[in-house]
Amino acid sequence: MLLDGLVVKEQSGFFWVEVADGTVYRCQLRGHLKEEAQSSDIAAIGDKVKISPVIQDESGLIGLIEAVMERENVLSRSARTQGNRGAGEAEREHIIIANADIIFIVLAAAQPTPNLPMLDRLLVAGEKAQIDQLVIIINKIDLEDPSIISKKFAPYTKMGYTVLQTSAKDERGIDAVRQLVKGKISAFTGPSGVGKTSLLNCLQPGLGREVRNVSNYHQEGVHTTRDSALIKLDPTIYGEKTYVADTPGMRYLNIWDVEPEELDGYFRDLAPYIGNCRFSNCTHNHEPGCGVRNALKKNLISFARYKSYLKLREELEEMYAY
């Protein structure tokens, strides 16, 4: 007998799968799926799967994942094991979450300083994945001047992204997040130390997620979340089937499966001007008659965003050169 289920947690090759009645099975992949998992994550949180119950022991119910259903979308990163902090040659696809309705990209207004290049990379990954909603959360607004926050993130608001300002400390802005997560599968992602777990605790007090203070020395945050999990929120408050993922903090994001020539299409602010370029293969770097650089001169595009594009394009060109 096969049961339909949802992968709600993954750790060290094991997958916790919730079935229709709320029962959770600790599962492994069936043998033929393990072979496929060498180049990508065959199962990940958010995946809809079919499992076969096997046994029950002192640790609980055990099962096998027999099949993974076709995904609606996948938010991925390129897993790298070489170089500084894993920024070396691409090894395989690592799936952050599958079938997400909404992705919350969380930055801090201060402590640590907003990592805008990381934000741009996550937006590219989200656009590539065709996630329905990409929402930017600026947390810790109690630590920064409001006018500075608004100015820094004005380009993203102009592009049409939803930008929310929150403070997990005094719960400012949390109601807007609560409304967005209802009835959806969502994920909180972003750099370490920005308060993702604190925001999650605001959504539902008592979740008991571990929160640590940001490292004062490096200002890069402390990795408090060691594994990926979908947390089911209280149905009496949020309705049925509301899940949020608290994902490990990132210090670096390597884009997966984006070729240099298609990168500009995932930058919302650059995309409208691509058709104005004289050359169809324009890199928007040095070519004459470039529509993107003309828009930049007219201040229609943020210079910081343009620099992010050039940096990421250079990185992708190096990757695809091999």
pLDDT of residue 197: 83
More confident residue, 83 or 78: 78
Of 41-55, 107-121, 246-260, least confident by mean pLDDT is 246-260
What is the predicted pLDDT for the residue at 39? 60
250: confidence class by pLDDT, cuts 50, 70, 90: low
Q: Are residues 124 and 109 located together in one domain of the fold?
A: yes
pLDDT at 254: 86
Confidence of residue 262 (pLDDT cuts 50, 70, 90): very high
On whether both 37 and 64 belong to a single domain, the answer is yes
Residue 176 is part of a domain; what is its CATH number? 3.40.50.300
117 with 265, same domain? no
Q: What is the pLDDT of residues 2-24, one digit of tens each?
A: 999 999 999 888 999 999 999 99
User: Which of 43, 68, 93 is at the close of a domain?
Assistant: 68
CATH (domain of 40): 2.40.50.140
Q: What is the mean pLDDT of the chain?
A: 87
Is 251 within a domain? no
Residues in contact with 237: Cβ distance below 8 Å, sequence separation at least 6, in sequence order: 204
Confidence at 70, pLDDT banded by 50, 70, 90: very high
**Residue 211 placed within a domain:** yes
Kindly state whether residues 32 and 92 are assigned to the same domain: no
- At 28 the pLDDT is 93
CATH number, domain with residue 296: 1.10.40.50
Q: Check whether 225 has a pLDDT greater than 90.
A: no
- Does the pLDDT of residue 224 top 60, yes or no? no
Q: Are residues 156 and 90 in the same domain?
A: yes
**Co-location of 123 and 219 in the same domain:** yes
Write down the pLDDT at residue 80. Answer: 59
CB burial of residue 197 (10 Å; 0-12, 13-18, 19+)? buried
Q: Would you say residue 195 lies in a domain?
A: yes
Final residue belonging to a domain, choices 68, 86, 120: 68
pLDDT at 58 over 90: no
Q: Which of 49-53, 120-124, 206-210 has the lowest mean pLDDT?
A: 206-210
pTM value is: 0.87
**What's the total number of domains in the chain?**
3
What confidence score (pLDDT) does residue 78 get?
84
Residue 283 inside a domain? The answer is yes
Residues 183 and 60 in one domain: no
Same domain for 299 and 235, yes or no, is no
Q: What is the dihedral angle through the alpha carbons of 133, 134, 138, 139, rounded to the nearest 10 degrees? A: 70
Please classify residue 303 by burial: count the beta carbons closer than 10 Å to its beta carbon, then call 0-12 exposed, 13-18 middle and 19+ buried: exposed
| 293 within domain boundaries | yes
Which residue from 233, 229, 126, 245 is spatially nearest to 183, judged by alpha carbons?
233
pLDDT of 170 higher than 70:
yes
115 and 195 co-located in one domain: yes
Question: Are 217 and 271 in a shared domain?
Answer: no
Residue where a domain terminates, one of 190, 214, 246: 246
Q: Are residues 164 and 19 in the same domain?
A: no
* CA–CA distance, 195 with 114 (Å, rounded to integer): 12
Structure confidence at residue 36 as a pLDDT band (50, 70, 90): low
Domain that holds residue 298: 260-320
Higher pLDDT, 59 or 114: 114
Per-residue model confidence (pLDDT) at position 215: 36
Residue 182: its pLDDT value, please? 96
User: What pLDDT shows up at residue 229?
Assistant: 85
| Mean pLDDT of the region 279-304 | 96
One domain for residues 58 and 92? no
What number is the average pLDDT over the span 237-265? 86
Q: Is residue 252 part of a domain?
A: no
Task: Mention every residue, 6+ apart, whose C-beta is less than 8 A from residue 30.
Answer: 64, 65, 66
In this structure, is residue 253 part of a structural domain?
no
More confident call, 47 vs 55: 47
Judge whether 255 lies within some domain.
Answer: no
**What region does 47 belong to: left with phi over 0, alpha with psi -120 to 50, or beta?**
beta
Does 248 have pLDDT greater than 60? yes
Mean pLDDT of 141-153: 96
